[in-house]
Structure 1
């Protein structure tokens, strides 16, 4: 069965619209600032999606492109935005150039404005994990086991494929905090098929094809694809061939329209919560 994050995202979007209405009644216009560095080809598609949703929601969005800049200039800008009461959410779009210390940049963002949820003391949950959580909760509704969601997760063999800083790594860390220790596979993992064949849930964040196939997943597995790449035809493709695995997986997400729209919706839900927090603390 296919689980479309785009459909699940509608509920979150409705909540955002309710938040925005209340904020506007109190004279607050939510604002997000997106900072980009490096060549446009690295960040354009991701930023365009954010700007498009901001426009749809009538949220004020500012895109600051620093192109090739120094760490000092970026840190100075972040300090200015931290102090700006009209800015509620700050995003420094990844990946960052090699001359920029990403840990220092994360720590430089006010935790009350870190809507990406990267800081350990951030006020917000990781949007990507909230998206995965919703998808798994949807899958659980079809399970005959009437147990708590976290207990249900702990009862499953989970494998995360890929350890990237915006995909696999934060998901692994979040699962660990919930008392779940997933099997982890990356490009250096030998006998990766053995891990996949045992997995009840596979969360793939590689952006590569051919790793997850119909012959190395078990019947009834749940497949969640985060990674994307462009095929030879120029179209976005996921980490697995949907037609190939649809008769084997019990649930799977499509690409596009799977995790992405839900991830984006939760990012903006974090933004409206940041604006609400700002309202209370002002």
Structure 2
């Protein structure tokens, strides 16, 4: 069994990005990412802080807007509108989830596609589905693809199962795998017999937010397992969606949690932001 070490790979990628960002600085371009947080969700605050820290560490200017829970939808849209027309800002990210009174889809659509470094805008989704590299790809699925490539895992012809159908991970993940030549099944909460799919899979990517969803009896020998899940147990321990202790005994490759996909997501956010700044310069 080989651990897919996203932490180590992300550090390598970030150092390469640091050099690219320095070249942009020498040309007079200060890369800038604006992050908007609405409300006081503890997990969201942690994510925003980690993104701001990563930006600072690698020479990217970070603007963090912390808005009150009661911020209206129009106030949020007005801020995004201002950032859309600010030439000094190259990436705009609205931290999810948003309060219930705000229409998430409307907010995500309001971010101009050229600054949508999360890759959620319909235009960027369209580029992905057409297999084009013109737009921005969602950070977590992109990080998974980079991780698989770094370990020279050939996806062509692999029977693959993606567990989770979210627009953030599951659906774009499946599309990227299809574009890479894999055969893909998407499973979700309404799937009748999950085990029927996973037992035959060469590659399983789990992004459901459910502790121990994938167990040893559900996988075959030599399976490749990517665990995107992040769950906090009552004792404070962070675990994924996979029964790591037992599934790892059958896997050929597997990601740890933490230290697998999470660090790669941050690295891809920085990569997309620098890509946006480079586009602006050109």
Give the TM-score taking structure 2 as reference length: 0.89
CA distance in 1, matches of 2:262, 2:8: 11
**How far did residue 228 of structure 1 move?**
0.8
SS at match of 1:262: helix
Which residue in 2 is equivalent to 1:65? 66
Which residue in 2 is equivalent to 1:17? 18
**How far did residue 37 of structure 1 move?**
1.5
Within the candidate set 133, 138, 159, 2:150 is matched to: 138
| Structure 1 residues 102-127: Cα deviation after superposition (integer angstroms, max 9, x where no partner) | 22222211111111111232321222
Q: Structure 1 residues 209-218 or 186-195, which shifts more? A: 186-195
Within the candidate set 159, 162, 187, 2:161 is matched to: 159
**How far did residue 214 of structure 1 move?**
1.0
1:1-282 matches, within 5 Å, as 1-67=2-68, 68-122=70-124, 123-141=135-153, 152-176=154-178, 180=182, 182-280=184-282
**How far did residue 3 of structure 1 move?**
0.8
Distance 1:154 1:120, change over 3 A: farther
Give the TM-score taking structure 1 as reference length: 0.89
CA distance in 1, matches of 2:61, 2:226: 32
| Runs (5+) with no aligned partner, structure 1 | 142-151
SS at match of 1:61: strand
| Runs (5+) with no aligned partner, structure 2 | 125-134
SS at match of 2:172: helix
Note the aligned Cα RMSD (angstroms).
1.8
CA distance in 1, matches of 2:178, 2:224: 19
CA distance in 1, matches of 2:199, 2:182: 19
SS at match of 2:115: coil
Distance 1:167 1:56, change over 3 A: same
8 Å contact from structure 1 (residues 42, 95) kept in 2: no
